[in-house]
Structures are given as structure tokens and as C-alpha cells.
Chain A
Amino acid sequence: MPLNEFSLSGKDLADLAQATLAKGACFRLKAKGFSMLPFIRDGDILTISSLLKSPIGFGKSAAFIDSQTGKLVIHRIIGKNNGLYLIKGDNAFGAGGLIPKENILGCVVRIERNGKNIFLGLGRERMIIALFSRIKLWPLALIFWNLLPYPLRNIIKHKI
């Protein structure tokens, strides 16, 4: 009766994350999707900490259960409204969504990409990112980005 490796996604993943984080432990998983570009990329390894260790905060990337699909989603907290948290993907141009605190399982505390830790988006700069996201400044930021000389963009790309 050997122990085998196993992979899973969707609601099952959300269930396992919820159970692990409820024990106060961190949960490490591979990011799937592009909604948090450029700060979290498809294939990045994320460590999510329980709210006991890393409380909800403005600009943090939070892992929550989407009430419609039941799946685990990671988006950035960009505000609070009537006790609900305003959440939005960094790569999304829409208004974002409001979710109750109960749906938030934990916050991203570590991002690993190709074996290296990525810090951008986890420190205090996360507040600026959230602010840009909230006041929908990303289109302007993208225009500014495209105005930068290519070598400079390339250096920044490699840094993040």
C-alpha cells in the first residue's frame, strides 16, 4: 500500500488549504492563472500564511474562497467597505469584488520563482500597488511603462 504523489485543483484545493490554514500552519502551492500579473505569475510557488500569523492588511495578496465557484482565488486587498473587503487581481481592469472576512483564508507571505524568492509586491510597496489598482491608475502606469527605454524595462523585468 504505497503512498503516491497526487495533484489536484479547484474546490478540493480550497478545502485542503482551508483545513491546513485552520491549524495555524502555512500552505504552499503553485499559482495558476494570470490575474495577478506582473507580481504573481503562473507557476510561481506561493506560501500562504494563516490570518493568525499574517493578518489581513491593505495591499496584501489574500487567498479566499470564491463564493460562486468554491475555488481558491488569490487577489489583492485594495479596500474595505461596510465590513467587506474589496479584492482585485493586479491584472484586472474591472472594479473588483467585495468579500466577507470569513471567506479570506490567509495572505501570501512568500513568492518563489525559478527557485528564487520574489519580494516585490509583498513589502510596503504593496500599498502603492493597491492604491493604483483602486483608483484604476494601471492604464496610466502601463503607458508610463511603455515610455520607458527598453533596456531599463528589461532590467526592471528581471528584478521582478
Chain B
Amino acid sequence: MKTELSLNSVYRPSEDVVGRDIQGELIIIPITSGIGDLEDEIFTLNKHGRAIWDKLDGEKTLKEIAKELSLDFAGSLEDIEKDVLGLTRELCKKRMLVAVK
């Protein structure tokens, strides 16, 4: 489903990724063409990215996620919304997220 990315969008992790909490960081391997490639494609998300990823549950909008995060992290809501949009855009480019709405 192709959806214009906005704060009203809803996303969830793709079925084609493997995520594991390793050494305190979230390691993500996208499965491309049926292969989870440890040599070419492996990603980590830091604390902030991890917090966003954990809330991408296919139910909350990005705006709701940003609002929830603003309770836990310092910074203005506007900045947090920018971060949420930025990471979501990057994860979508790598086909790690699926648009729900």
C-alpha cells in the first residue's frame, strides 16, 4: 500500500525484517529477495530510534507516537515529530515498515 507519509500515517514493522535486542541495541536485518544478509545489510537503532520502532504497532498515528515520546524524552513536540517522520521515512525507504493507513 503506497501512502503519503504524514503525521496521520500509521505504520508497522514489515514481516520481512528480523529484529533482535543485542547488547542493548536493536539490530535489524531486512529480508531482501528471501535472504537475510548479514554481510551487506544489518542495521542498528539507537535509544531514540528504538523507542520510535517499539511504538510503530500498526495502530498509533505518527503524531500519537510523537506525543507519547514527548513524555519520555526532552525536546519540543515539534522536534520529536520531525524525528519520528525522519526515521519513519528512512525505514520505509529500506522497506522495513509497512503503511497501514
Q: How large is the interface on A (under 10, 10 to 19, 20 to 34, 35 or more residues)?
A: 20 to 34
* Known pairs A12-B23, A26-B36, A28-B36 / 16 extra A-B pairs, C-beta < 8 Å: A1-B48, A1-B86, A3-B28, A8-B22, A12-B27, A13-B38, A16-B18, A16-B20, A23-B31, A23-B36, A25-B36, A26-B34, A26-B35, A27-B36, A28-B39, A47-B35
Q: How large is the interface on B (under 10, 10 to 19, 20 to 34, 35 or more residues)?
A: 20 to 34
The secondary structure that dominates the A interface is mixed
Q: Does A16 contact B29, Cβ atoms closer than 8 Å? A: yes
| Chain B residues, CB < 8 A from A7 | 42
The secondary structure that dominates the B interface is mixed
User: A residues touching B (Cβ–Cβ < 8 Å)?
Assistant: 1-8, 12-13, 15-16, 19-20, 23-30, 45, 47
Any A CB within 8 A of the CB of B45: yes
User: B residues touching A (Cβ–Cβ < 8 Å)?
Assistant: 15-16, 18, 20, 22-23, 25, 27-29, 31, 34-40, 42-46, 48-49, 52, 83, 86-87, 90, 94
